[in-house]
Structures are given as C-alpha cells and as structure tokens.
Chain A
Amino acid sequence: MNTWHKLKWPLIALALVLLFNLLSTPGFFRVEIKNGHFYGSLIDILNRGAPVMLLSLGMTLVIATGGVDLSVGAIMAIAGAVAAMQVNAGHALPFVLAASLGAAVAAGLWNGLLVGYFKVPPIVATLVLMVSGRGIAQLITEGHHIRFNSPPFEFIGRGHFLGLPFAVTIVLVVFAMLALLCTKTAAGLFIEATGDNEKASRYAGVQTRLVQFVVYTICALCAGLAGLITTTNVQEADPSNTGVGLELDAILATVIGGTALTGGRFYLAGSLIGAILLQTITTTILTRGVPVNWTLVVKATVIIAVCLLQSEKFRQLIWRRKISVL
C-alpha cells in the first residue's frame, strides 16, 4: 500500500510523458520483430536507459543507508578501461569480466572503507574517487581511447537475449537479485535501519559498518556492469568521457523513485521507473526534434518539481492555499 503510494507519482509522470508521445509521435509504441529481435522506440528507451537503470539500483541501496555515491561515473570508466585493455591483451572473456568487475568491487570496498570505518561523510568520501578515479582510468589506458574487436565481449552491450537487448536482461537480473536480497533476507531491513538511525541500529546489534561496506560494493559492482555495457556498446573504452555526469542521473532517478536522500525506506522498482522516466524524456526530446540543449533545462525542472512534491513544507503550503480558496 505504502509502496504504491510512493510509486504513484513517478508512474503518473511516466504515463503522462508516454501519453504525450502517443498523441504526438506516430509509431512511438510500434514494436517490430526483425531477425528475432524486438525493435522500436520503447525497446530503444530500455536499451539506452540500461546503464542509468543499473546505476540507480545500486545508488538506491547506498542512498537508503543515508549515503550517496558520487564515484559511479568514474568507476564505469575504470571498469571499461580495464576490460578493454584485457580484451586487447588477448585474455579470455571470463578473465576480462573478473578483472574489470574486480576493479569495480575494489573501488566499492574503498568507498565502503572510508564511509563505514573512517566515518568520512559519504559526499566527501566518494568525491575522492570521483576526482581521482577518472585519472586512474586514464592511467590504465595511458590516456588513449582503446578500441577493441571481440564479438563475445561485445555481446554485453550489443547482443540480444530472448529478443531483448542483453543490457536490458542484465538490468532485470540485477533488479531481481537485489529485490530478492532485500525482501527475502534481513538485508533490506538492515539497510533501512542504518539509514533511519545509524546509532540506534548499531546499539540494536545491526552491523552498520558491514552494511555500508556491502552497499557501496554492490553500488560499485552495478557501476562496473554499467561501464561494461557502455563500453561494449560503442566498442571503445573512453576513460575521459565514459559515464560523465551519470552519477547525477542515477541520484535523480532514485529520488524521483521515492527514496529520500535522508535515507530509510527505499524503492528499487521506483528507481527503475525513475531511470526509465529520465530516458523517456531524453528520447522524447530527441524524437520531437527539440534541440538537444533543452534536455538539461527540462531535467532541472523535473528534479525541482519532484523534490518540491516530496517536501513536507511545500505540500503544507499548497494544502493551506486550497483551504483558503475554499
């Protein structure tokens, strides 16, 4: 019930944007099957939105503990850079995946260490990796863009599975796993408890440090996967541009999805909807022929609108005005 109440606003917003497209863009909802794969604007939205969807899933858990992870964009770049170097060095696919995701996990452990054990405020702790992570990625590729040609590896970002883009499959699998983890085990409870009141949770026996360690690692792992998708999609590792600014999109998707930045209750499905909403807006702007430079202004307006709706004080203000009108 409560979940539905929270998911209502992002769903209504998504429905409005889709309705706008239904009325104004002919063929927006057409899904065709070519060579056994689905094609169409809707599939395209899911496919292009996959990296931010993955990031927002990981980000949701971090934000639920009352933290934030600014380094996901840099982690994407690191994972992509490591993978491209290993592929070109001629290593087998399992090794490439292990190396790149391992690098992402290491980054997550580092963030978890700073936040959980050194008690550094999350914005600052992850800022360190955000600033230096891109430098590390450039160090790995020695500043070059690394092109590669390896069909099995490229399957991650370009392949299809059961007719859907494989990237979408990855998102669904990660979502299912995280949802199971949070509803079928006590992990979800621990995460919410940590975000609600860290001190009280610790006194109640929740290992809050471990919880923070785990969520930052999961978030980094999601970022690593997102980095692999982005990198394989364009067949090139670009350490200076992969994932730039995506941390903000992920945070935005999470907040739109109903998870408050202060921590506590979190909504994985809401974050997915938030990410899809963002991508739908971007795609709509593109297909409508509106100049791309409007995207940022529209995004800013959406954030402020959603934040205001979630603000207690703002709702009171509106409520009072309604009464005075009556």
Chain B
Amino acid sequence: MSLAVFQRNVPFVATLSVFALLFAFASARYDGFFTLQYFVSFVSADAYLGIAALGLTFVILSGGIDLSVGAVIGCVSILIGVLIEKHHWSPLLVVPVALLFGTAMGASMGAVIHCFGLPPFLVTLAGMFFARGLGFLISLESVPVGGALANFNSDVYVPLSSRAFVPATTLLYLLAFLIAFAVAHFTRFGRNVYAIGGNEPSARLMGLPVGKTKIGVYTLSGFCAALAGVTYVLQNTKGDPTTGLGLELDAIAAVVIGGTLLSGGVGLVAGTLLGVMILGIIQAIITFQGTLNSWWTRIIVGALLLAFILLQKLIQAKKFQTAKTFQTAK
C-alpha cells in the first residue's frame, strides 16, 4: 500500500526535485534572484496561466483534454474591455457576466462531449475556434481598460516586506489554488474525477455519476479560463482578442510537468502549481542569462515535457508489471 502511494507520487517528487534544482541553480548563479521580491514577481507573472492550468488539471485528471482555455482567456478579456470601455458597464456587472460566459462555454462543451460521445479533443478544438472567433468578432483591436479594474491590482495588495508586495491577482491565484486543492482532495466531486480518470467503465459500474462529473470538469475548466481572463485584464489593464494564443499548450505542459498523467486518474493539483512555477523559472533564467534567446524557452520546455512523459511511461510500465504479478488472467 505504502509502495503504491509512493509510486503514484514519483512524478510529483520528480517535479519537486526539478523545481528545487532549477531554483538552487538560478539562486546561486544570478544576483538578485534569491530575494522574496523576485520570487513574488515571477510567481505573479504567471497568475493567469496558473489559474487556467488549475482548471485544466481536473479535465486531464478525468482523462480528457481542453484545448479551448487560451481562446476563452482572449475572448473574455476583450469582452470585458469592450463592455467597460465602449458600453460603460459597471465592473461589478461585467466580471460576473464574463465568468458566466466561460462557465457556459465549458458546460456546453462538456455536454456535447458526454451526450454525443464525441472526442474531447475535437469538441474543445471547435470550442477554441469558436471562442477565438467570437473574440475577433467583438473587436479586432485590443482595448485598454481604465477605471476601477485598472487600478485594482495596484490598490489591493498585501505587503510581505518593505519591497515585496503580493498583488491582488496573485492572491486570487493562491485562493484559486487552495479551492482547487480542496475540491480535488476533500470533496465527492474530486474523488469522482480521479475515479473516472482511473477507469471510466469501473466508475460507471460502481454507480458514480460519470456524465455529471464529466460535464462538471469542463464547466470548471471553462470557469477557470474565464477567471484567468479576468486576471489577465487586471494584470495588463487591457482586453486583447489575441491573448492566450497557444496558451493551452503551455497549460498542458505545466500540468504534465507537474506530474499529472495524461491518461488520467493520477496527479496532484499542487503539482500543477509547481509545473507553472517551473515554466516561470525557465523564463526567468533565460531573461537573467541575457545571452540566451527567447526561443530557447520553447526548446527547454519541450525537453522537460519529454523527460516527464518518458518518466510517466516508466512508472506505468512498472505498475503494469506489479499488476501482472497479482492477476494471472488477461
């Protein structure tokens, strides 16, 4: 039993080690890296990617995939921008509308996936085209957002020291993480997600609400993507229909590097947080180094992704062997 628990968490331990190694390397090598101020700033920079990745973690845990998150972020950001700047809606109304849009988008994709048995890959691909297209229909140009929303991030913060401030968006990110963590590990819904990802037919035979849960995870992912869109607007004080192009891939990479199996059923929400931070550290190291060009980011992320996928294969192969020793049939 303890062995099984250990084996399941090997990817997470690997993620933790990679993070620690990268962090130690960067701290030793670059002046000013090992400061609270910088730590907060590079965690904050990825807040919206992180929030989207948290929602995506549930989808991947359930054995599905959601390619629409980047497009939903772009669509929500421009929706907020246009509603506030062109139609002068109150931010108190706009933010719920934006969140509702993302949630509805996720729920409809989940419903189509479950009710018609279509592959999640295709449905969320269509969702991605739809959301991106809708964003461009709302406005082709990015719209600067002023007023209360623009000042929110600079007005609301928690001072950690004389120079380190945690901005509101980062607090939102941490809050989202805590809620996601609680939902994954301490609720019925969370346990159902793990069960369905582990083995859908068994979950169905056990009487778990497979359909409801599946629709639920896409709804949750849609909500998180919309929340990420709101976070983007708060951070960058603009709505931009091209935001989040290819972000779904970064988010998937973060989830996988965080130790979640793409086949579903195994993974930790905390891993995703670490995965996003690893992406952030790689970006930071490349910025600090100065001589490395930005395209190295993509190559290194690709290499890390590969390393983690191969590690996952190794663990699965081992698990298969253990399973074989227990049951002689099949």
- Residues of chain A touching chain B, judged by Cβ–Cβ distance below 8 Å, are 68, 114, 118-121, 123-125, 127-136, 138-139, 142-143, 248, 251-252, 255, 261-262, 291, 293-301, 303-304, 307-308, 311-314
The contact of A294 among B112, B137, B313, by CB within 8 Å, is: B137
- Residues of chain B touching chain A, judged by Cβ–Cβ distance below 8 Å, are 65, 112, 115-119, 121-123, 125-130, 132-134, 136-137, 140, 249, 252-253, 256, 262-263, 293-299, 301-303, 305-306, 309-310, 313
Q: Is the CB of B126 within 8 A of A307?
A: yes
Check A297/B130 contact, CB under 8 A, given A124-B256, A128-B306: yes
A-B contact count (CB 8 A): 125
Nearest opposing residue in chain B for A125, CB measure:
B309
B305 to chain A, nearest CB (A): 5
A216 to chain B, nearest CB (A): 16
Nearest opposing residue in chain B for A110, CB measure:
B306
CA distance A132 to B253 in the complex (A): 11
Nearest opposing residue in chain B for A311, CB measure:
B116
Q: Is the CB of B295 within 8 A of A135?
A: yes
The contact of B112 among A129, A299, A304, by CB within 8 Å, is: A304
Q: Is the CB of A300 within 8 A of B249?
A: no
B36 to chain A, nearest CB (A): 31
A182 to chain B, nearest CB (A): 24
Q: Is the CB of B119 within 8 A of A303?
A: no
The contact of A311 among B118, B127, B297, B298, by CB within 8 Å, is: B118
Nearest opposing residue in chain B for A137, CB measure:
B295
Nearest opposing residue in chain B for A119, CB measure:
B313
Determine the chain A residues whose CB is within 8 A of the CB of B128 once the complex forms: 248, 300
Q: Is the CB of B133 within 8 A of A297?
A: yes
Nearest opposing residue in chain A for B305, CB measure:
A128
A276 to chain B, nearest CB (A): 19
Q: Is the CB of B115 within 8 A of A299?
A: no
By secondary structure, the A interface counts as helix
Q: Could you list 11 A-B pairs, sorted by A, with CB under 8 Å?
A: A120-B313, A121-B263, A125-B309, A131-B298, A135-B296, A136-B299, A261-B121, A296-B130, A297-B133, A299-B129, A313-B115
Nearest opposing residue in chain A for B130, CB measure:
A300
A75 to chain B, nearest CB (A): 13
Q: Is the CB of A307 within 8 A of B295?
A: no
Q: Is the CB of A313 within 8 A of B112?
A: no
Q: Is the CB of A124 within 8 A of B309?
A: yes
Q: Is the CB of A300 within 8 A of B129?
A: yes
CA distance A304 to B327 in the complex (A): 43
Q: Is the CB of A307 within 8 A of B118?
A: yes
CA distance A251 to B289 in the complex (A): 39
Determine the chain B residues whose CB is within 8 A of the CB of A312 once the complex forms: 117
The contact of B127 among A119, A132, A293, A300, by CB within 8 Å, is: A300
Q: Is the CB of B134 within 8 A of A297?
A: yes
Q: Is the CB of B302 within 8 A of A128?
A: yes
The contact of B301 among A132, A304, A307, by CB within 8 Å, is: A132
Determine the chain B residues whose CB is within 8 A of the CB of A313 once the complex forms: 115-117
Nearest opposing residue in chain A for B256, CB measure:
A124
Check A139/B313 contact, CB under 8 A, given A123-B65, A313-B116: no
Q: Is the CB of A120 within 8 A of B309?
A: yes
Determine the chain A residues whose CB is within 8 A of the CB of B296 once the complex forms: 135, 139
The contact of A303 among B129, B256, B301, by CB within 8 Å, is: B129
B216 to chain A, nearest CB (A): 20
CA distance A120 to B310 in the complex (A): 8
CA distance A68 to B120 in the complex (A): 14
CA distance A68 to B130 in the complex (A): 22
Determine the chain B residues whose CB is within 8 A of the CB of A139 once the complex forms: 293, 295-296, 299
CA distance A160 to B119 in the complex (A): 41
B260 to chain A, nearest CB (A): 11
Determine the chain B residues whose CB is within 8 A of the CB of A127 once the complex forms: 249, 252-253, 305
Determine the chain B residues whose CB is within 8 A of the CB of A301 once the complex forms: 130
Q: Is the CB of B119 within 8 A of A131?
A: no
B59 to chain A, nearest CB (A): 13
Q: Is the CB of A308 within 8 A of B116?
A: yes
CA distance A125 to B296 in the complex (A): 19
CA distance A125 to B305 in the complex (A): 9
Q: Is the CB of A134 within 8 A of B298?
A: yes
Q: Is the CB of A123 within 8 A of B130?
A: no
Check A300/B126 contact, CB under 8 A, given A135-B295, A293-B133: yes
CA distance A91 to B11 in the complex (A): 47
CA distance A121 to B310 in the complex (A): 11
Q: Is the CB of A118 within 8 A of B313?
A: yes
13 more CB-based (< 8 A) A-B contacts, given A127-B305, A132-B299, A304-B123: A118-B310, A118-B313, A120-B309, A135-B302, A138-B295, A138-B298, A139-B293, A248-B125, A293-B133, A294-B133, A299-B133, A307-B118, A311-B117
Check A297/B137 contact, CB under 8 A, given A138-B293, A307-B126: yes
Nearest opposing residue in chain B for A248, CB measure:
B125
A73 to chain B, nearest CB (A): 11
B141 to chain A, nearest CB (A): 11
CA distance A248 to B71 in the complex (A): 14
The contact of B302 among A132, A297, A304, by CB within 8 Å, is: A132
B161 to chain A, nearest CB (A): 36
Q: Is the CB of B132 within 8 A of A296?
A: yes
The contact of A304 among B126, B249, B313, by CB within 8 Å, is: B126
CA distance A119 to B314 in the complex (A): 10
Q: Which 7 A-B pairs have the closest CB atoms?
A: A132-B302, A296-B133, A135-B298, A293-B136, A297-B133, A300-B130, A138-B295
Determine the chain B residues whose CB is within 8 A of the CB of A308 once the complex forms: 112, 116, 118
Q: Is the CB of B262 within 8 A of A123?
A: yes
Nearest opposing residue in chain A for B303, CB measure:
A132
